[in-house]
Structure 1
């Protein structure tokens, strides 16, 4: 039974490896599938979303979110959380409404197929059904533009235009009603490019991209439409000035190519906004600012050339929030959003960029007072990051693995069940000292099945579930080399080491496997809990290493994903800590040592403090 269930997790993991193919399969089959199959598609998308967040892959996350909005619309499910994230990434209400308007009946009637689009939009290529529809039959690249052949007369008034003028990213967008024959087209020129795509079932979108603004000529001749870019031709003369100017430009371009790219090394939040630490100075004229407004949100979009380290970040300031993303391979984008119109400020100094809301509880403060208040706030957070009232309201359940008839891993006279119980009790005492409410799944040598361990946490309405274990290897040849402290959260195993750890711990109670075979997948699809558990694991691992390394040489086994059954039933962020290898000659003795266990307990408590502080 266990091998069968474990195979399920491996299969899920393989699905993640074929991410793009799975999305393509969804695009082709979702709308024409039966209801039960569509539900499975929807849950699979939720799994993909979790993985994209864990991997901090913003591009994949956006693509999955778009499809989740569509599946929610078709299945009549709530899409609020997905829509909010798309808006934070900069997607407009109009584009979101287009996704929502797609229904199963409409799509089947049009015999349509979804295909991915490089413009980061889900587009629709409709099948030709009747002669009343308008078609773009063909297109051809000419010397300075593109010529289109239509089956109808197109006029200037039929075209809706949008101009987006950002630094080094000028876009001229034209939409008109028609169906594109032959699929998406890309035409590239020396200084600009033209893309033709099916924006929605009834609309073709043409996007002209260039670094600088270029004038365009639109020519309408019955069923032919031509777009030409006016490029200024350099006049030939015998003067020395022009070659010198050209040589200077080429030298500047070469120097710019040799320059190291700008990196955003770290992003931190303060009371009014965010602070970006850069690897080199950034000038004000390198920032591009764009203001947008839709039905519900006002946005300020700041863009600059750079590379964002560590993935996208979201920061909340009450009803206002700031999102930082890698918009494309070369552009970092900061989006400030608010339900009300607002002003923002920016400060550039010593490789640091600060972006903050000017009117966020700061109306009556001078700039000097703002700095004083910010410094005071930081000092208070450093000395007392979480007050006693906050901690007293948090419930933490600590689970000492195994117990009773289940000894866990054994090495000589060392038993895992005894070591982890002593460690769990010390962790609980340390958390109690800091003001938290603590409960144990067991406080003596007693066997408790897997289902009841998380049931205790759920019944106590716990905020966190911490399961304590010791690792082991069966092979004597590997015992001397296998060591390290690891923290796990629930997810398909991505390495052989994670799979081995999960297999060892999951063998404790075979009678539970049938129950978890049904519950595990449902639990895995709880994206919020999985992401929170990942964050908790990171903070715990950091805290434990910081404390234990003060006295011992500890190997960092890292934060890992694995399908531990004991974590499946928890309705709150849940992690499993492997405090070390009981089979290692030195580490086995160390994890049984009271001094080490006390340091480890302080490290776990530091990690809990850090998690609540970072996610309060």
Structure 2
């Protein structure tokens, strides 16, 4: 009997050790998958996902989400659109109706396939299977007879268009329809003209409805953000630019939420001290712009009833790990890191605009380059445990909240900046692996308020009035976020 118990004990010990080993392999595979995501290597992602699924099944974990990811990746590599029927057996597919076959044929013949269309707070979100660009969206207004109609024509096929019903408090009626085999149309109808903007974030279009504006018509050029023109082009097209200016509507006023007195915000002015950040024409330093905008933002938010702290209020350098310590100690509700963008000489004259980032593994080359620039003095301070914490943090629910916050701030910035300069470019809301955001235990964003490398934008960024405009736009974004997420 004693021998029998020893045998059982030894078996349990071996089983426990084997299980621990599998758990470690499972965790390692998860980390390897995230590393592959950072490198945007689909082949490696497929390999690591397969490992995660195999190990997960042995550990009796729910592997269905990973299996779905794997299916999407494999279909993407094969150039096939993903449909809800892709996992069904061949026998089921063979008995589909003629209508289903036609829908599938249409979705394969068009450039893009739209996965879903849905509402979230005051936005309409369109999800795609592939990355999209500004050229895939056409936005225009129709004469207010009998009502104001804002129309979006979007390149893509959405097989559920006929069954999709949308509603928002700010809009009386929203109609979704497949206008052409490769164009989805969304029409917003209202008795008064709503203030509608939109932003593109990789595989997503986000249409933002900010209540009613004046009854002025808005031109296509106002919403459609074309690349900023060079000075020579500005002279040639001065008449056209003047026309756009006269048609621009006044930005919507944002009401400060009543609960602002209970909200705490930490503002981080990027770089500082010996780390000057990016350098623009006439020795303009990024660290100076960042700190000035941060101080103006602090003042505005305090006037609106928020409790505000700065990570630095003077020209000093703070290590990346310490920048979010204050935010966590103060139990902040939001963390905002302010930076200024830059481009190499060959692109300096042609690249300008505002963009807002939230923490996530960067998949676009653009986001990787921006992150590399901002991380260059920080990443050397990262040990393996810090990097591991970053990878683990990617699954936290706050990523979703940060995305929503970034959308509101980007919208607020553009509306404020364009009250003075109508040609401010919208570089969008994007995801990126910024180390400064890793430690924050609350929704957090990194704002690139403009390109210090661009001669004209660099000059603006050093203007006191423009810095105050930017700060006001960020504050409006904060108000907008809390009004929807109290």
Common fold by TM > 0.5:
yes
Q: Which residue of 2 aligns with 1:33?
A: 58
Tell me, yes or no, if structure 1 residue 487 matches structure 2 residue 393. Answer: no
In 1, the alpha carbon distance for the partners of 2:268 and 2:172 equals 49
Contact 1:408 1:508 survives alignment (8 Å): no
Shift of 1:502: 0.8
Match of 1:521 in 2: 391
CA contact (8 A) 1:401 1:420 kept: yes
| In the alignment, structure 1 residue 329 sits paired with structure 2 residue 167 | no
- 1:47–1:524 CA contact under 8 A, matched in 2: no
Greater strand share, structure number:
1
Give 2:373's aligned residue: 504
Aligned in 2, Cα 1:497/1:9: closer, same or farther, shift over 3 Å?
A: farther
Greater length-normalized contact order (CA 8 Å, ≥ 6 residues apart): 2
State the Cα distance separating 1:496 from its structure 2 match.
2.0
Displacement of 1:405 = 2.1
**3-state SS in 1 of match to 2:331:** coil
Mapped partners of 2:341, 2:406: distance in 1: 17
Distance 1:521 1:308, change over 3 A: farther
Deviation at 1:331, TM superposition (A): 4.9
1:363-400 deviation digits (Å, cap 9, x = unpaired): xxxxxxxxxxxxxxx99xx9885543x00111110000
Mapped pair 1:573 → 2:443: yes
Which stretches in structure 1 are left out of the alignment for 5+ residues?
A: 1-6, 52-58, 64-115, 120-182, 194-208, 211-263, 271-278, 281-306, 312-325, 337-347, 354-377
Q: Which residue of 1 aligns with 2:336?
A: 466
What is the TM-score with the length of structure 2 in the denominator?
Answer: 0.56
Q: SS of 1:535's equivalent?
A: helix
Instruction: Return the structure number with greater helix share.
Output: 2
Distance 2:40 2:283 in 1: 43
- Structure 1 CA distance for aligned equivalents of residues 304 and 155 of structure 2: 31
Aligned match for 1:595, one of 444, 460, 465 = 465
Confirm whether residue 398 of structure 1 aligns to residue 267 of structure 2. yes
* Deviation by residue 1:55-102 (Cα, 9 ceiling, x = unmatched): xxxx99x99xxxxxxxxxxxxxxxxxxxxxxxxxxxxxxxxxxxxxxx
Q: Deviations over 1:291-345 (max 9, x none)?
A: xxxxxxxxxxxxxxxx99999xxxxxxxxxxxxxx8x635535699xxxxxxxxx
Q: Number of aligned residue pairs: give it.
A: 326
Cα distance change on mapping 1:594 and 1:24 into 2, 3 Å: closer
Distance between the aligned counterparts of 2:427 and 2:94, measured in 1? 48
Instruction: Note the C-alpha offset of 1:409.
Output: 1.4
Give, in whole Å, the separation in 1 of the partners of 2:299 and 2:420. Answer: 21
User: Secondary structure, in 3 states, of the residue corresponding to 1:442?
Assistant: coil
Residue 431 of structure 1: which of 301, 309, 312 is its match? 301
Task: From the superposition, tell whether residues 265 and 592 of structure 1 become closer, same or farther in structure 2 (CA, over 3 Å).
Answer: same
Change (3 A) 1:456 1:310: farther
Q: RMSD across aligned C-alpha pairs, in angstroms?
A: 4.5
Aligned match of 2:37: 12
Taking the aligned partners of 2:379 and 2:121, their CA distance within structure 1 comes to 47
Residue 14 of structure 1: how far off its partner (Å) = 5.8
Deviation at 1:479, TM superposition (A): 1.7
* Cα shift at 1:501: 1.0
Q: Deviations over 1:89-127 (max 9, x none)?
A: xxxxxxxxxxxxxxxxxxxxxxxxxxx9646xxxxxxxx
Matches within 5 A, 1:279-318: none
Contact 1:465 1:574 in 2 (8 A): yes
| Structure 1 residues 310 and 525: CA distance shift in structure 2, 3 A | farther
3-state SS of 1:586 partner: helix
After TM superposition, give the deviation of residue 555 of structure 1 in Å. 1.4
1:186 alignment counterpart = 92
Q: Is the 8 A contact 1:9 1:493 kept in 2?
A: no
Q: Does 2:316 align with 1:446?
A: yes
Once the two structures are superposed, residues 8-32 of structure 1 have per-residue CA deviations (whole angstroms, 9 ceiling, x without a partner) of 8662146785799579837962454
| Stretches of structure 2 lacking an aligned partner (at least 5 in a row) | 1-31, 74-80, 102-115, 123-140, 143-151, 177-210, 213-251
* Residue 444 (structure 2) pairs with residue 613 (structure 1): no
Does the CA contact (< 8 Å) of 1:406 and 1:447 recur in 2? Answer: yes
Structure showing greater Rg:
1
Question: Is residue 563 from structure 1 mapped to residue 433 from structure 2 by the alignment?
Answer: yes
Native 8 Å contact 1:10 1:493 kept in 2: no
